[in-house]
């Protein structure tokens, strides 16, 4: 029952927008309905917060990957590219001075 609840809450509220307060409210509502015991409250909140954090990280990783791929496709110079060019220019200047 609790696993089904977790999936429903995460889908219904959206793991990325779930705050601790929203999770606590949802868990408290289940307790009122008798679907969850008061003893299970802390564990339920902890589990849901952990799942929300995991999904938030996965989303952030996916966005980062997509942004990086788009930057590559567009041919935009990154900070790393610029630093590599600056290093190469410094090396060439040293060679020319010698």
What is the pLDDT, as a whole number, of residue 2?
46
- Which has more confidence, 81 or 16? 81
Task: Parse the chain into domains and list their residue ranges.
Answer: 2-97
Rounded Cα distance, 75 and 44, in Å = 46
What is the pLDDT, as a whole number, of residue 20?
82
What is the pLDDT, as a whole number, of residue 66?
87
Q: Name the helix (H) or strand (E) containing 62.
A: helix 41-74
- The answer to whether 44 touches 27, Cβ cutoff 8 Å, is yes
In this prediction, residues 22-46 reach a mean pLDDT of: 89
With H, G, I as helix, E, B as strand and everything else as coil, classify residue 21.
helix
pLDDT at 73 over 80: yes
In this prediction, residues 23-43 reach a mean pLDDT of: 90
- Smallest CA-to-CA distance from 23 within 51, 3, 54 is with 51
pLDDT at 10 over 90: no
């Amino acid at each position: 029952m609790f696993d089904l609840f977790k999936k429903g809450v995460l889908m219904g509220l959206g793991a990325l927008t779930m705050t601790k307060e929203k999770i606590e409210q949802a868990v408290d509502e289940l307790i009122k309905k008798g679907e969850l015991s008061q003893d299970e409250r802390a564990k339920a909140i902890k589990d849901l917060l952990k799942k929300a954090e995991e999904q938030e990280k996965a989303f952030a990783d996916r966005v980062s990957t997509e942004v990086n791929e788009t930057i590559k496709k567009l041919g935009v110079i990154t900070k790393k590219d610029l630093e590599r060019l600056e290093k190469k220019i410094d090396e060439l200047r040293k060679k020319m001075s010698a």
